[in-house]
Copies of this chain bind each other. A is one copy, B any other.
Amino acid sequence: MNAMHITASVFINDDERCLHQDLEIWLEKLAPHEPVARYRHNTGEDNADAHLKRSIMGREAVVAVTNGMLDFGPWEQIFYGEFDGRRKKRVLVKIIGE
């Protein structure tokens, strides 16, 4: 399963609102949006930081399936991380197997 956009992520973690806030704050520290002019990509666009954030969080998740159920560990859930808030976003889910 993968984000179909290069400024977004599909990742697996805890469904805990405060943790997601921690993630946002932390990503903003590692790859700040401002100052926009620090990034060479930002000519006409201002979302270079979103590309970097997506690089940390990853593009895709691969999850095993057994008897029609996702093989999740405790608390594992799949999230879509949106880092620039542009366009309509889509996720691709592909299932293969016997």
Contact = CB atoms under 8 A, between A and B. Distances in A.
Interface of A: 2-6, 11-14, 16, 18-19, 21-23, 26, 30-31, 39-41, 43, 48, 51-52, 54-64, 66, 71-76, 90, 92, 94, 96-98
Given A4-B73, A21-B40, 12 more contacts: A2-B63, A6-B14, A6-B75, A13-B51, A13-B54, A16-B41, A19-B40, A22-B41, A26-B31, A30-B30, A60-B62, A64-B94
| Copies per assembly | 3
Contacts of A61: 59-60
Contact of A13 (B16, B22, B55): B55
Given A13-B51, A39-B22, A48-B22, A6 B64 contact: no
